[in-house]
Amino acid sequence: MNIRLPKIVWINIGLLVLFLFVLILPGEGGLSSFFRGGKPLGYSDQRAGIQLQDAFRNVYNSAKDSVVSIRTKKTEAITSPYQYFDYRTEKLSSFGSGFLIHEKGYVVTNFHVISDAESIEVIASDGSVFPAKFVGSHERADIALLKIKEGSGLKPVSFGDSDKIEVGDWAIAIGSPFGLERSFSVGVVSAKYREDLDETGQTHIQTDSMINPGSSGGPLLNIYGEVIGINRLIRSDSGRNTGIGFAIPMNYAKKIIQLIEENKGRIIRPATLGVMATVPLPDHRKALGIPADWKGVLVYDIDPGSSAESSGLKRYDFIMEANGVQVKNINDLREQVGIVGLGGRLKLRIYREKSLEELTVRLIQK
């Protein structure tokens, strides 16, 4: 049975075919002309930019198999907003970042990333998931050490010298902001030694690299792909990145990691020495016989029942060294107390009544 279409239908079909032919026809009238665009910039025009782009690619490729995402789970009670006694328990997940420091499977992250976690998992760059064991942590320094099985396919990071960085140096962050694994951001070192940002009292590297919730524990890298810091916190009213982020300097972090490894299975808690001290004035030096070129801090008061009092530290003791490190100001002393932690021993070199002495202070709970 033959169906005869009206003449107007055949005309419309013909016009449609012609229109499609014009669109795909090569030339100025065709659709293909929309995608030709202008002539791009050549290599010679963009040589410097391409070389910098390649440098960033190299950093990412060198570090991507060292950086991990850390997923923790803990049980929390969820209360109904409508009935006070109506609640249920639920296992909630949270994310952070970390990086491998040793081929035996040791991973570093922030203490606050794994604090109170019931289970910890490490997610590698290829998506593999490994259960992680808690090795130890330092609460005040906000550093934790984990261990996964050997042969994970991850490679250890390379370490840089955080004391040699300068303001304006490239600073590259890799982490899992908002759970987005191995996000890469580039900035600069904004400041080398930021002190008294929080209760830890330790110094931080300031950077404008993008650090957001979930980036904590990831590495801050230099242009050579070396780790110069552990990304830790941001300064923001909204909780989102505002271009002011902070990382724990790697040279300081190494001391903490070594201490954690020596105290496996332990959370090193914050401690206080229990003294008020300051750099002495010239009159104080003259009265106490302290040479003008000696570095140190002068104790002018001691808390009753403190670690300092219990160990025999006295008023007007001039503290020159703590655990073999020169004390130039009160922050240097505070840092050494923080490193040792509660229950540790602090070896002091002091000047007392015109003689040098060694004194060991056990850091106790007041």
- Catalytic residue, chosen from 97, 176, 216, 306, is 216
- Catalytic residue, chosen from 65, 97, 138, 142, is 142
Spatial CB neighbours of 58, under 8 Å, sequence gap ≥ 6 = 225
In the residue annotation, 112 being an active-site residue is answered as yes
- Catalytic residue, chosen from 94, 102, 112, 236, is 112
In the residue annotation, 138 being an active-site residue is answered as no
Axis crossing angle, helix 330-340 with helix 250-262, rounded to the nearest 10: 30
Judged by DSSP in three states, 352 sits in strand
Count CB-CB contacts under 10 A for residue 43: 8
Q: Is the dihedral angle over the CA atoms 99, 63, 245, 130 positive or is it negative?
A: negative
Task: Report in angstroms the alpha-carbon separations of 106 from 130, 173, 190.
Answer: 12, 20, 30
Structure tokens at 8: 């107007």
In the residue annotation, 126 being an active-site residue is answered as no
Structure tokens at 354: 């015109």
Distance CA 325, CA 320 (A): 8
Strand partners, 76: 90
Q: Is the dihedral angle over the CA atoms 56, 62, 64, 66 positive or is it negative?
A: negative
Cβ 95 vs Cβ 262: under 8 Å: no
Cβ 317 vs Cβ 351: under 8 Å: yes
Cβ 122 vs Cβ 101: under 8 Å: no
Strands (DSSP E) contained in 141-223 are 143-147, 158-159, 170-175, 183-194, 204-207, 219-221
* Catalytic positions, written as ranges: 112, 142, 216
